[in-house]
Amino acid sequence: MKDKIRQLSEEIEQLMAESHEHVEELRIRFLSKKGLIPSLFSDFRNVAPEQRKEIGQALNTLKQKAGEKINELKSQLDLGGASESSDTDMSRPAEEISIGSRHPISLVRNRIISIFQNIGFNVSDGPEMEDDWHNFSALNFPPEHPARDMQDTFFIEKGKDHKDQVALRTHTSSVQVRVMETTEPPIRTLSPGRVFRNEAISARSHCIFHQVEGLYVDKGVSFADLKQTLYYFATEMFGEETRIRFRPSYFPFTEPSAEMDISCILCKGKGCNVCKYTGWLEIMGCGMVDPAVLKNCGIDPEVYSGFAFGMGIERVAMMQYAVRDIRYFFENDQRFLKQFTPAL
């Protein structure tokens, strides 16, 4: 009897099931009224009294074990098949897990941030849905001023008065207002983020893109500081031999304002089709923060001065990686994305 119990116990341990019908067959074989285990219980009558305790216990254990095994097989099947079916080769090497790559926009953004972090800039954030004050008015865009047309805006709430307008931010300059309103100078901050403009989508422009805004406010900040800081950035980002030039420009929130160009990173200034044979590439807008903007944000322009700049991340990424169509950045085509550094 003991041998019989041991033998059944081993057999039960080895059981595997291919289907629910098979499990049911096993249950009938071992546990149904006329099954193997109940028939052992019937034989129990013939067991010698001194062995009853031991064999009784063994029988009960066997019955319990059979019940548990049958349930286990059932739930394995419910979960999608037997986990250790005989055709699983446990020695086979695991399938390769492919690791994603960082998006080129993230790579360029992180590089820009780390260059400025090295000279004491921090990173600040602001909302993508912005009110009129932070996106326009505090930055010296008067309500009906044509400068607003430079940034064709997606409005969320038009409102009767321009003050009630809510829009998707058209630039990250809104974040400099938020920082100045809440921080005592000295301020050295970088604001990367997504911006939105109602532009027709083409190879060169998109209605969603990314900018990095920079702001430096302290006592005695001058245009020379702006130039030196941006020169440092250009040489770190594009190589030591990079040259820069400034062209006068207009932004409502800076005075004077400029457009900064870098010598073409492909032809080094000799002239090629990327720089349209000028030798220069436009890279960002910049200027001295207009005293009216400082005042709007609660900073005394008699005490403090500052400079600001803003650049498009897609633009920089297109230059760095020679990407000819801005739409690649938004299409999530793996053939494009896999060409960039793995995200490790």
What is the binding site for ligand DAH (CB under 6 A)?
171, 173, 213, 251, 254, 285-287, 308-310
CB of 112 to ligand DAH, least distance (A): 14
Residue 190 is encoded by which pair of tokens?
């970088």
CB of 217 to ligand DAH, least distance (A): 12
CB of 246 to ligand DAH, least distance (A): 12
Q: Which is nearer to ligand DAH, 29 or 295 (CB)?
A: 295
Residue 334 is encoded by which pair of tokens?
């793996």
**CA–CA–CA angle 171, 121, 240 (5° rounding):** 95
Longest dimension (CA), the chain: 110
Q: Which is nearer to ligand DAH, 25 or 125 (CB)?
A: 125
Q: Which is nearer to ligand DAH, 216 or 328 (CB)?
A: 216
Q: 136-157 burial string, b = 16+ CB within 10 Å, else e? A: bbbbbbeeeeeebeebebeeee
Q: Which is nearer to ligand DAH, 30 or 251 (CB)?
A: 251
CB of 203 to ligand DAH, least distance (A): 20
CB of 326 to ligand DAH, least distance (A): 15
- DSSP alpha helix (H) spans, 14-145: 20-31, 36-43, 49-78, 104-117, 132-135
Q: Which is nearer to ligand DAH, 17 or 191 (CB)?
A: 191
Q: Which is nearer to ligand DAH, 214 or 269 (CB)?
A: 214
Cα–Cα distance list, 124 to 108, 214, 300, 342 (Å): 17, 10, 22, 26
Burial of 311 (0-12, 13-18, 19+ CB in 10 A): buried
Cβ atoms of 103 and 343 within 8 Å: the answer is no
CB of 118 to ligand DAH, least distance (A): 20
Q: Which is nearer to ligand DAH, 171 or 206 (CB)?
A: 171
Q: Which is nearer to ligand DAH, 69 or 169 (CB)?
A: 169
Cα–Cα distance list, 202 to 156, 169, 310, 323, 326 (Å): 24, 20, 22, 14, 8
CB of 295 to ligand DAH, least distance (A): 17
CB of 159 to ligand DAH, least distance (A): 23
Count of CB atoms situated within 10 Å of the CB of 217: 24
- Give dist(CA 18, CA 327) in Å, integer: 51
Collapsing DSSP to helix, strand or coil, 105 comes out as: helix
Interhelix angle 20-31/49-78, nearest 10 degrees: 170
- Give dist(CA 205, CA 272) in Å, integer: 21
